[in-house]
Chain A
Amino acid sequence: MRALDGVTFSVEQGSTLALVGESGSGKTTAARMVLGLDTPDTGSVAILGKRLESLKSEELRVLRRSIQVVQQDPYSQLNRRHSVQRIIEGPLIAFGETDASIRKAKAIELLDAVGLERAYLNRRPHELSGGQCQRVAIARALIIEPKILVLDEAVSALDVSIRAQVLNLLRSLQRERSLTYLFITHDLGVAKYMADDIAVMFRGKIMEKGNREDIFKNSAHHYTRNLISSVPRTEPPIQRKQTYDIQALPTINENDACSYRSRCSVGLQQAKCQTESVPLTSGSASHAWLCHFPLENGMK
């Protein structure tokens, strides 16, 4: 089965690309490819101009300095037997920094950058809240001064008030350190806040990509529109609902040319979506989609 199918994207230095999608859409698989944790069957990944598959293991190791990851679960990504200091120093140790005083000074600097006091150096993960753990994970990721940060649902487990703090922190760190972010999220609001460009994934394919305006104002793909309208708004409806959409979502028909067809109100009526493979259509330099019958907004 194809977890990723013909996925192409690029992230400009210093900008943020969000991969959004529901579970099983392949967004985390894409992140693993970028991190070099898995290798694609076909296609290639280039980081800072270097193709991963052409690198020798030592070269790959050097390149790994430039790309770090922060994961979803605040607790499981930190070694619970280590102190915060040891956790943050980890990458320095891995890359051969033997001077303990340099490591400690760096750890303190990063702790400060993520908004934690020096007193946290001796704490252990179980003494920290979820938000504090995420800050420690960010400090650890940044200590070897990477160029790229992969953030895999990095704020999804946090409470609303804490999530806002961490998102603001990530934005200011990006500005200060000209970081490039690959932001994996299922949350469209978070994607809109964080990302310059957004790629909407479904079943291993990028259905639509574009900048914030393209995706939120001029979405061309029916899936994108459906996804946006499914996010519960914090404005209560003026009137009680009159119609209810209660049926379970139909299962995907693997034989359809467009994988979204069985859930698409337009595609279901069209034989073309069943039989003819869907070409990538560009609406502008920034905006492209995979759909035979795009929404009107996208066509201008």
Chain B
Amino acid sequence: MHIPDGFLANDVAVACAIPAIGAVGYGLRRAEVDLDDRRVPLLGVTAAFVFAAQMLNFPVAGGTSGHFLGAALAAILLGPWLACLVLAVVLFVQAFVFADGGVTALGAAVFNMGVIGGVLVGGLMLAVRKTLPTSRGALLGVAAGGAWLAVMAGAAACSLELAISGTVPLATVLPAMLAVHAIIGAGEAVITVAAVSAVLATRPDLIHGPAPAPAAAILTNPAVS
């Protein structure tokens, strides 16, 4: 879902860049609160995993491929704002080193693939934590459902931006984007659940949240390494 330059009108690109810059800037300011000693390497680890997994295009129907986006996973591990920062780092490197995704469209890419999913899944985490008893099942449910929704919401936003730019009518692009991303979102859900499960099995305390993290409270003893 990397929008190249030329797809978006300049005013649309700017309108998307403003919330993207705001979210990433807020993520940087939140770093002092959200990043304890354990999460400093975790931000690098998450960015590296998202970058690597984004290279792994898997085939979906009809000569199309999809790839992991990663905002849901990043939000579960680091919270919504640092998730925006992680996706911004990945998309910046992709645009400037690998010529993948536009430069003027970079703000829109961060918005669609980072901010929307990060805030959505961060909000879901908060809602589930407030309403359900903390459990591994609830967390993995948020991981699966949140990942799918993040991809769909990003695809819808991308469609809307293309339509407002006058590139393609909304009635043409929105159904097509949602149809293909409904399948890609299932892949996103599988990878997100697998990655969260791997973290739960090794360092459940790394799941983001005001202590105690939901799974950590159940799966581990309070000993801190």
Decide if A and B are genuine partners.
Answer: no
Mark A residues whose CB is within 8 Å of B: none
Mark B residues whose CB is within 8 Å of A: none
